[in-house]
Amino acid sequence: MNLKGRTRPGFSWLGLIGFGLLLALLGVALVQARQLQLLQQAVRSGDDFAVLSIYQVEIEYLRLRESWRRNSAPNAPSAEAPLDELKLRYDIWVSRIALLDGPRPRRLIDENPNYTSTVLDMQRFVALADTALGTQAQQPVTADFLASRLPSLDALGPAIHALSLGAAHSLAEQNEQRNLAVRQQNQLGLGLTVFMSILTLAFAFIALRQVRQLRQRRVVLEELASSLSEARHEAEGASQAKSAFLANMSHEIRTPFHGLMGMLSLLRETGLNPRQIDYLRTATESADHLLAILNDILDMSKLESGRLTLNPVPVDLRSLLRDVESLMRPQAGAKGLALHLDADPAVPERVMADATRLKQILFNLLSNAIKFSDRGAVLLHVRVREGADARPELEFAVIDTGIGMDAATLAQIFNRFAQGDNSRSRRHGGTGLGLEISRNLARLMHGDLSVTSRPGEGSSFALRLPLTAVLDAAAGKGATEPARPSTSRPLRVLVAEDHPVNRQYISALLDNLGHKAHFAANGLEAVDAARQMAFDLVLMDLHMPLMDGVAATRAIRALPEAARSTVPIVAMTADAFEETRDRCMVAGMNDFLTKPVSPQKLATLLRQLFGRESGAVPFGEPLPSDTAPPPAARRPLTAGSTPLLDDSAIAAALSALSRAELGAMIATFLDQGPQTVQHLRAAVRDAQPLELRVNAHAVKGVALNLGLTALAHTAEALQEGAAHLPAHEIARLVQRYEELLPVTRQAAQQAGLLPASPAEPPAVP
Amino acid sequence: MAGRRWLLKAGFAALSVTAGLGAGPARALDRPAGVVVLTLTGSLRRANDAGRALFDMAMLEALPQISHATRTPWYAQSRRFTGPLLRDVLAAAGAHGTKLRLSALNDYQVDMPMDDAQRHDVIVARLLDDKPLAVRDKGPLFVIYPFDARPELRSAVYYGRSAWQLRSIEVL
């Protein structure tokens, strides 16, 4: 900045002026020292004093002459007292003359030779007078003696007066000289003072200028700061606008895309020829790829805006690894690569983690490894190691034998849109966002993602996460839930959706599941429909013209009729942000479906909402084909061939429940067994097929959920046969149900679901 | 300038004899036997002559004697002055006051703060180089400050207060 450059001369001027001031002060001090010297000289010389001495010589001379005249008169009384007085006057005068011999008066007198002669005259007279008046007097003091000496005493008068005058003049001259010197000093001092004043003024001026410059600089800096903060605000605003744009676009793209994908999946079941199936597979692959890209972009926008929140829950780590392996193995197999996943024994069974996001990272790393390897193997090794501050860490190492990376690539690998090199990206495709998302996710989990690699020697990615082991038996929820049979009752579903393709798709899905869809093209229509007709469920798109889903939900919740206003409402939206979900829940929605809505997702939702209320299913309603029980349940109902427990269902249940919880449920269910048998027998005895059916269905639902296959099948047979089977057949089925209870308990004990030595339930004959 | 003031003082000052003030003497001072050389007037407690305290040379000699060898403006070299301390003389007369008015034979007058006599070893010199001071030698009594021992005394003020040919002291 040139401000700094401009201050330099200012400072040097200040230095110069300061130096000048110092010199001036020194000068003033010098002048004052000189004045002090002059004063001291004046005091020392005591010239004033010397003049006084000379005056006093004259005064005493006049007094003596008076006394002398009086005593020298012929008629003078020759008494002792007057003579004593004369002697005293004489002595005093002589003492005054002696003073003139002192060093200082001499200086004053020596300047004029006349003075010396006068002093000599006086001394001569004293020598004469001393013959009578001195201490060694040779003659008495007589009037005659006095009279004879009077003329010579008188003769001294003019000379002594001249001495006085001369001294006065000489003193005046000296005073004048001193005054002149003092005046010169004063002038010099005045000059110095003026000089100092000018310098001080200059100093003040420069200081003032400095202050002004500082103030200007501060103003400039403040302006800079404010413009910077403005720019930051603008940038933040732009970034937010970008995030909103991304979220918007993801919605705008995913909505029709979700319709497209739905249509593709429906198309597959319309009886195509092999060529069409091949085209369709290619189209689906492209769509999957596009969806992956869209998901990456959505993840990125959420990560950037800090809206991505993790949901750590207890996770069964090994089951999660199995899921990952089963998904990645086909990819690896397609390229002829070996895939090994293993975990150290020290790795705990369950850890706290966001399973979805952890899997997302591992999928990304593994699919990269597979993508960039043409031979050899891809390894995923999990171990516990000590972290930076001695805390235990979980390390997921993904090692491949692929093409590797050079230093330049490594430096770029976690940056957006970075890929190995152009040729590689051409070969392998991808958004280039995967590793950035993975590292951001890892950091969000308070861990990190790092890589080591060499060209031609493969790469090694290491994901390190802080280890939080789960010691209690809380269940892992990470495993994917298998598709479950949906509700067996046809539901009246109101679908509020503005997009015609989506309406078609949802309609096809519901139709497939055996439910009936009514449509509303916007929120207003949806509210109208909900007011006029009774629905089991409302699927509400959030983004609609005229009235959006949230407003429509509020309107429905505000309907006067309780039966209409309490209908379950589930949001459908393409943006999966937390706040959108919160907004929906606050508006009174029951659940939330993110698009694309897959058949499994919808089925799961419907099962969650309606699956356990099968008592309302009317008689004779056939089950929709894809909501049939798992294949195991379709086997013939013979004790020998039907497994007692459905391992896959139990595994699925264990993915949501702990072993102990599931065990407790099974125990409760089995403990209630005899009571159930009594109810069933009562229904058979009283010929109440509806009662029988309701009971059987309730038992079947629970048994299916708990994975008690044999019991579920028996209950289903009872449910299905309640209306038309002959009584003895029904009685036989009830008998069979009863017999299965202890056997199932045994099987559950063997499977480790129940404690090994519980009290055996009383055997029923 | 200062010289002129002194001159005026010397010229116009008249000897004033004031009656003794205050209480009567606690213990009378001896009457002088010889020629009176110093007369104290004013506030005295131990007067010996109608409110005045008269001293002859013997009485002064009887007091403790102090010597100052010092340079003065009146002599070219350092000289030795001997005599009683002024404060001893004042104490002998029971003087109490704030100011002393010194008068000389030639009617020179100067005021000295009483404090000077207490703070400084001011002497009433009667001997110069161990010989009696004649009138011709500024005697018979000479007020001398310890000029050499106390440099701050070397100023016109103290030189002026050093009255020679001292005749009387009025205590005010």
Which among A415, A443, A435, A431 has a CA at the least distance from the CA of A308? A443
* Cα separation, A339 vs A378, whole angstroms: 5
- Nearest-CA distance from B158 to chain A in Å? 12
The CATH number covering residue A547 comes to 3.40.50.2300
- pLDDT tens across A40-71, in order? 766 555 566 677 778 888 888 898 888 888 88
Min mean pLDDT across A207-216, A325-334, A703-712 is at A703-712
The last residue of one of the domains, among A616, A639, A663, is A616
Structural domain for A84, as ranges:
2-213
| pLDDT, greater one: A407 or A217 | A217
Given a cut of 80, whether residue A212 has pLDDT beyond it is yes
The domains located in chain B, with CATH, are 2-15+34-171 (3.90.420.10)
Distance from CA of B138 to the nearest CA of A (A): 6
Is residue B167 within a helix (H) or strand (E), and if so which, with residue range? strand B166-171
Q: Which H helix or E strand runs over A669?
A: helix A659-671
Other C-beta atoms within 10 Å of A152: how many? 13
Q: Is the pLDDT assigned to residue A673 strictly greater than 50?
A: yes
Choose the closest CB to B6 out of A52, A92, A171: A52
DSSP state of A516: E
Predicted confidence band of residue A232 (pLDDT cuts 50, 70, 90): very high
* Residue A99 domain-assigned (yes or no): yes
Classify residue A218: in a domain, yes or no.
Answer: no
| Rounded Cα–Cα distance for residues A436 and A433 (Å) | 5
What's the pLDDT tens digit per position in A360-395? 899 889 988 888 888 888 999 999 888 777 788 889
Residue % of chain A over a pLDDT of 70: 79
The pLDDT, as a whole number, for residue A494 is 92
Chain B residue nearest residue A134, CA to CA = B136
Locate the chain B residue with the closest alpha carbon to A55. B7
Q: CB of A43 within 8 Å of any CB in chain B?
A: yes
Q: Kindly state the DSSP code that residue A687 receives in the 8-state scheme.
A: T
Of A43, A55, A92, the CB nearest to B165: A92
ipTM: 0.72
Res A595: pLDDT: 63
* Beta-bridge partner residues of A518: A494
Q: How far apart are CA A507 and CA A262, in angstroms?
A: 11
Q: Determine, for residues A95 and B135 on separate chains, whether the beta-carbon distance falls below 8 Å.
A: yes
In-domain check, residue A30: yes
Question: Taking CB atoms and an 8 Å cutoff, what residues of chain B touch A56?
Answer: 10, 106
B13 lies within 8 A of chain A by CB? no
Same domain, A612 and A669: no
* pLDDT reading at A557 higher than 70: yes
Tracing tokens 């990304």 back to the chain, one arrives at A364
What is the tens place of the pLDDT at every residue in A141-170?
Answer: 777 788 888 888 888 888 888 888 877 887
Residue A589 has pLDDT above 60, yes or no: yes
Q: Based on the number of CB atoms within 10 Å of its own CB, is B172 exposed (0-12), middle (13-18) or buried (19 or more)?
A: middle
Asked whether residue A356 is assigned to any structural domain, the reply reads yes
pLDDT score, position A93: 87
The predicted structure's pLDDT at residue B103: 92
Give the pLDDT score at A72.
Answer: 79
For residue A645, the domain's CATH number is: 1.20.120.160
Domain boundary among A616, A645, A660: A616
Report d(CA A487, CA A605) in Å as an integer.
10
Contact B26/A at CB under 8 A: no
pLDDT of residue A762: 44
Residue B11 near chain A (CB below 8 Å): yes
Which stretch, A86-100, A189-203, A746-760, has highest mean pLDDT?
A: A189-203
pLDDT digits (tens, 9 = 90+) for A274-313: 888 888 888 888 887 787 777 788 778 778 777 777 888 8
Q: Which residue does chain B place closest to A64, by CA atoms?
A: B106
Distance separating alpha carbons of residues A388 and A395, to the nearest angstrom: 13
Quick one: A592 and A636 in the same domain?
no
Where among A564, A582, A616 does a domain terminate? A616
Q: Do A48 and B2 touch (CB under 8 A)?
A: yes
Assess whether A600 and A641 both reside in one domain. Answer: no
| Whole-number pLDDT of residue A107 | 62
In this structure, the answer to whether residues A508 and A414 fall within a common structural domain is no
Q: What is the token pair recorded at A90?
A: 């004489």
Please name the helix (run of DSSP H) or strand (run of DSSP E) that holds residue A699, with its range, or none.
helix A689-706
**Mean pLDDT, range A650-668, rounded to an integer:** 67
Alpha-carbon torsion angle A519, A524, A526, A530, nearest 10 = -140
A560: pLDDT strictly greater than 50: yes
- A534 and A661, same domain (yes or no): no
In 3D space, the residue among B36, B43, B37 whose CA is nearest the CA of residue B94 turns out to be B43
Residue with tokens 């007058």: B109
Q: For residues A540 and A657, state if they share a domain.
A: no
pLDDT > 90: percent of chain A? 6
Indicate if A170 and A208 belong to the same structural domain: yes
Contact B134 A99 (CB under 8 A): no
Residue A677 and residue A576 in one domain = no
Per-residue pLDDT averaged across B1-25, rounded?
39
Q: What is the pLDDT of residues A9-35, one digit of tens each?
A: 556 777 888 888 888 888 888 888 888
Q: Quick check: is A182 in a domain? A: yes
Q: What are phi and psi of A579, to 5 degrees?
A: -70, -30
Q: Which are the contacts of A731, defined by CB distance < 8 A and separation ≥ 6?
A: A681, A684
A452 in any annotated domain: yes
> Which tokens is A761 given?
């339930």
Q: Angle at CA A598, nearest 5°, toward A593 and A601? A: 55
**C-beta separation of A47 from A103 below 8 A:** no
Maximum distance among all Cα pairs of chain A, rounded to whole angstroms: 199
Is A296 inside a domain boundary?
no
**Would an 8 Å CB–CB cutoff place B138 in contact with chain A?**
yes
Residue-level pLDDT at A427: 46
Q: What value does the mean pLDDT of chain A take?
A: 77
Question: Domain with A457 in it: what CATH number?
Answer: 3.30.565.10
Answer yes or no: do A546 and A462 share one domain. Answer: no
In a domain, A240, yes or no: no
Q: What is the pTM of this model?
A: 0.38
Q: pLDDT, tens digit, for every residue of B90-146? A: 999 888 889 999 999 888 889 999 998 899 999 999 999 999 988 888 888 999 999
Residues A568, A461, single domain; the answer is no
A579 and A658, same structural domain? no
Phi, psi of B112 (to 5 degrees): -125, 135
How many domains does the structure of chain A reveal? 4
Return the structure tokens found at A181: 């010197």
- Report the 3 state secondary structure along A110-122: HCCHHHHHHHHHH
CA A555, distance to chain mean position in Å, is: 41
Q: What is the pLDDT of residue A759?
A: 46
DSSP letter for each residue of A200-257? HHHHHHHHHHHHHHHHHHHHHHHHHHHHHHHHHHHHHHHHHHHHHHHHHHHHHHHHHH
Q: Does A130 touch chain B (CB under 8 A)?
A: no
Mutate: best of B105, B135, B155, B166, partner A, most A CBs <10 A: B135
Residues A571 and A706 both lie in one domain: no
pLDDT at A696: 79
A57: contact with B, CB 8 A cutoff = no
Q: Which residue of B has its CA nearest to A94?
A: B136
- pLDDT above 90 (res B24): no
